[in-house]
Structure 1
């Protein structure tokens, strides 16, 4: 899934002197307070971290309260979805006008009616709601379905995603994994067949327009032929 990245960082954690007895716990507590929040410093939402704690790299800072800074190396798992990225999440609610999704268990996403492609039609049977494709009858989206969707925008303050199901490669992940591999081949066959039909139609029209004569696509060559014929006729 896009939107996830691992980044290496050299951090300086500032601690109160009262926490000097157990620096490791203080560092972990400070980093844990940043989890599942968007950080401009990290350019993403911090999901997890792994740090190498130093033994003696600390520096006292001057001031009324002499905090000390601890330098450490860390690896950070960050989440920052951007427009046109592909994400996956679990459907938690369905309405006739929208699909509500949770991504990675903490970020909410919504796909509005105008961003759901026309082939999906809302249905409600026996108290259960779902969207069903009119093209592929077994392609359903229900509560609990893992869906793949495109990011339109991301609100960094409330961690809310606006998504889209307009592209053909979006929808129920389980269904897509079974059938998406068949699409490129079928689409290429369709394109090839259409190209052949258009080529044959063009040739037939050219034959009719030129009384059965064929000519080269090279325009300079055809111009020379036409000039030669004019000179012979004159």
Structure 2
């Protein structure tokens, strides 16, 4: 999935003197407070981190609250989907006007009917709404399906993705993978036939 990136960073974390007994725990608490929020410094949403203290020396800051700064080497997993990148999420709601899904368990994504390609038609099967491809009847988008969609925009404040299903490489992720494997195996067979001939 696009939009995920690993980043190495050297950070200065400021800790209150009352937390000096267990500095590493205080560092983890400070970093954990940044999880699942968009951070301009990191240019993305922090999903996970791995921190190691670089030095045992700390810099004491002068002022009313004498915090001390600790240098920390971190490895960060960030989520920052750019426009036209592909992301995957589980469909949670399907209606004639839109498809709603959850990406990575925390970010909401919606695809409106104007961004769903003509190939898909809304139908009701077994009392549930779904979009079914007119050319491939097994290519269906229903609740519980992993949907691959193209990002149009990402609102960092509310963690909301506006998506599109207009490109051909979007739709049910499982069906797309199976279809691409079948296409590559057909190409391999055709190449072998040409070599034999």
Instruction: Note if 1:70 corresponds to 2:60.
Output: no
Higher strand content, 1 or 2: 2
SS of the counterpart of 1:176? helix
Normalised TM-score (structure 2): 0.91
Higher helix content, 1 or 2: 1
Give the superposed CA RMSD. 1.7
CA deviation digits over 1:129-183, x for unaligned, max 9?
1110001111001100001110000001111000000001110011111112455
Q: Which residue of 2 aligns with 1:140?
A: 140
Instruction: Note if 1:166 corresponds to 2:153.
Output: no
Q: Which residue of 2 aligns with 1:46?
A: 46
Q: Summarize the alignment of residues 144-223 of structure 1 with structure 2, pairs less than 5 Å apart.
A: 144-182=144-182
- List alignment gaps of at least 5 residues for structure 1: 187-234
Number of aligned positions between the proteins: 187
Distance 1:55 1:12 in 2: 11
Distance 1:184 1:111 in 2: 29
Q: After TM superposition, give the deviation of residue 118 of structure 1 in Å.
A: 0.5
Q: 1:54 to 1:185 in 2, by over 3 A?
A: closer
Distance 2:116 2:104 in 1: 22
Q: Summarize the alignment of residues 76-95 of structure 1 with structure 2, pairs less than 5 Å apart.
A: 76-95=76-95
Distance 1:83 1:99 in 2: 19
- List alignment gaps of at least 5 residues for structure 2: 187-197
Q: Which residue of 2 aligns with 1:7?
A: 7
For the Cα contact (< 8 Å) 1:169–1:180, is it kept in 2? no
Which stretch of the first structure deviates more once superposed, 172-181 or 5-14?
Answer: 172-181
Q: After TM superposition, give the deviation of residue 57 of structure 1 in Å.
A: 2.6
CA deviation digits over 1:31-87, x for unaligned, max 9?
000000000000000000001124513110011111100001010000000100011
Q: After TM superposition, give the deviation of residue 185 of structure 1 in Å.
A: 9.7
Distance 1:178 1:55 in 2: 50
Distance 2:54 2:181 in 1: 49
Q: After TM superposition, give the deviation of residue 24 of structure 1 in Å.
A: 1.1
For the Cα contact (< 8 Å) 2:55–2:71, is it kept in 1? no
Deviation above 2 Å: which 4+ runs of structure 1? 180-186
Distance 1:115 1:26 in 2: 46
For the Cα contact (< 8 Å) 2:55–2:70, is it kept in 1? no
